[in-house]
Amino acid sequence: MTIKAGDRLPDTTLVKVTEEGPDKVSSADYFKGKKVALFSVPGAFTPTCSAKHLPGFIEKADDLKTHGIDEVVCTAVNDAFVMGAWGKSAGADGKVTMLADGNGEFAKAVGLEMDGSGFGLGTRGQRYSMVVNDGVVEQLNVEAPGEFKVSSAEHMLDQM
């Protein structure tokens, strides 16, 4: 079942990318007590994700924070090393926290996984964005397959 506004995020393990290396975190603990703009991409270094999605949130991170967002987080079904390299190459440091969902546990738990095997990607997370307040989804924007409209930082700002 797909998560919806008003639902609490399920507790899974994600991996936060840090300068010291990968750091496993509980999603229940990580999202507790703060307001987070979370967005998911099908894969690091993929065309739309690298050209539009991540750069848009990097560019708008400060604007989101003026609207009460404490942290901007990107997740994808990639390992922590790939997420770290992608964040570094995109200039995400200090703007967007990269959380790896290497085994796709989080994507599956929120009901937003997708089958990318036709493109050699296997099971991935869909493209979406959400505002999570103290672990509860306040706003959820899931893209139609192949689209990039409602999960953008600009769309999220328009909803605030």
The yes-or-no answer on residue 74 being catalytic is no
Q: Which of 36, 49, 58, 74 is catalytic?
A: 49
Q: Please give the distance of CA 154 from its chain centroid, rounded to a whole number.
A: 15
* Residue linked to tokens 């009460």: 68
Dihedral in degrees, nearest 10, Cα atoms 88, 64, 154, 148: 50
Residues 6 or more apart whose CB falls under 8 angstroms from that of 55 comprise: 90
Phi, psi of 131 (to 5 degrees): -105, 125
Pairing of strands 35-40, 71-76: parallel
Beta-strand (E) ranges in the chain? Answer: 13-18, 21-26, 35-40, 71-76, 97-100, 113-115, 123-125, 128-133, 136-142
In 3D, which of 109, 102, 98, 88 has the Cα closest to residue 30? 98
**Which residues are part of the catalytic machinery?**
49
